[in-house]
Structure 1
Amino acid sequence: MLEIPREILDAAIAQAQEGFPLEVCGLMGGTVKRVASRYPMTNTDASNEHFMMDPKEQFAAVKAMRAAGEDMLVIYHSHPESPARPSQEDIRLALTPNVCHLIISLENREEPVARAFRITAGVVEAVAIEIM
């Protein structure tokens, strides 16, 4: 179970809509299973099929999370034209342990879909989201 405040999820969805047709990405911090903060990142690949976070932004976000007593709980990104499920590339590049991967699908732009997953050694497990 992953608890995400409505305003944080809405902000991530808005970022995905604003970045369309490219993938957007970011991090979310919090404690245990409750998200408390969001850190939008620049997709340095500027692609609609994959993303790469700006390393300086990542470092600053992790530093801010630590200062706030938070852990990195979520790595999120959008799928502008495909479903909210990990692609083969998402699975291959899921190397950060103990985080959820939140995927926001804009396949239907009027009804975005957000789903969370744990990806460990190539194994994908769905994670329930509770919107707070």
Structure 2
Amino acid sequence: MSVPLHLTKDQISQLEQHARSTYPQECCGVLVGHCTPASWQVNQIYAVANAWSTGCLPPDIETQPKNPHSPADRYWIAPADLFQIMKSSRADGLQIIGIYHSHPDHPALPSECDRRLAWPEYCYVILAISQGQVHEQRCWQLDATQQFQEVTIAIS
């Protein structure tokens, strides 16, 4: 179904550093590059502030409305940030190909909220971080039935 996501060791380090710097809150950011039939190539990584706040998710997507969430277990990329990155990427001949975020003290598995907010044309990198140390990164993409399937991360 999917093609590998290509990241360099330096890009992995950049993602991990962002996750460590925001722990115990979720970090988030945007992956920019280009897609071919054989791979997704990341050229640039944009770290953005986690703009999550109560009420930013529509009630039909919020999975636990009685239990307040926080940036420790939710992330939100402000539309203005996403638009600016999209505009800058196009000027460089690139496009947004994915989103990344961390899961503090949880596995690198997508939540139901992650799934319901995902777009099928993007890949989603999740970094699992515990006690301030990243111990896993995994990548996911929605399939035709709106379920996440794992995407191989190729590190060079």
TM-score (norm 2): 0.79
Find the aligned partners of 1:110 and 1:82 in 2 and give their Cα distance: 12
Pick one of 4, 11, 19 that aligns with 1:8.
Answer: 11
Structure 1 stretch 100-109 or stretch 81-90: which is displaced more? 100-109
Quick one: which of 124, 127, 133 aligns to 1:101?
124
8 Å contact from structure 1 (residues 83, 107) kept in 2: no
Q: 1:47 is paired with a residue of what secondary structure?
A: coil
Instruction: Tell me whether 1:78 sits opposite 2:102 in the alignment.
Output: yes
Unaligned runs of 5+ in 2: 53-69
Where in structure 2 are the equivalents of 1:18-29 lying within 5 Å? Answer: 18-29=21-32
User: In the alignment, which residue of structure 2 is the partner of 1:130?
Assistant: 154
Give the conservation status (yes or no) of the 8 Å contact 1:5–1:36: no
Q: Give deviations 1:32-81, integer Å, cap 9, x for gaps.
A: 11100011111112611111112221111111111111121111000011
- SS state at 2:89 partner: helix
8 Å Cα contact 2:28-2:49 kept in structure 1: yes
Query: Are positions 1:42 and 2:45 aligned together?
Result: no
Q: Distance in 2 between matches of 1:22 and 1:101?
A: 18
**Do the aligned partners of 2:7 and 2:154 also contact (CA within 8 Å) in 1?**
yes
What SS does the aligned partner of 1:86 have? coil
SS in 2 for 1:98: coil
Counterpart-to-counterpart distance in 1, 2:155 and 2:49:
25
- Percent sequence identity is 28
- Please tell me whether Structure 1 or Structure 2 has the larger radius of gyration of its CA atoms: 2
**SS where residue 48 of structure 1 aligns?**
coil
- In structure 1, the residue corresponding to 2:113 is in which secondary structure? helix
Give TM-score, length-normalised by structure 1: 0.92
Correspondence 1:82-93 to 2 at 5 A: 82-93=106-117
Q: Which structure 1 residue ranges, 5 or more long, are not aligned?
A: none
Partner amino acid for 1:97? P
Quote how far apart the aligned CAs of 1:108 are.
Answer: 5.8
| Runs of 4+ with deviation above 2 angstroms | 107-112
Q: Calculate the aligned-residue CA RMSD, in Å.
A: 1.4
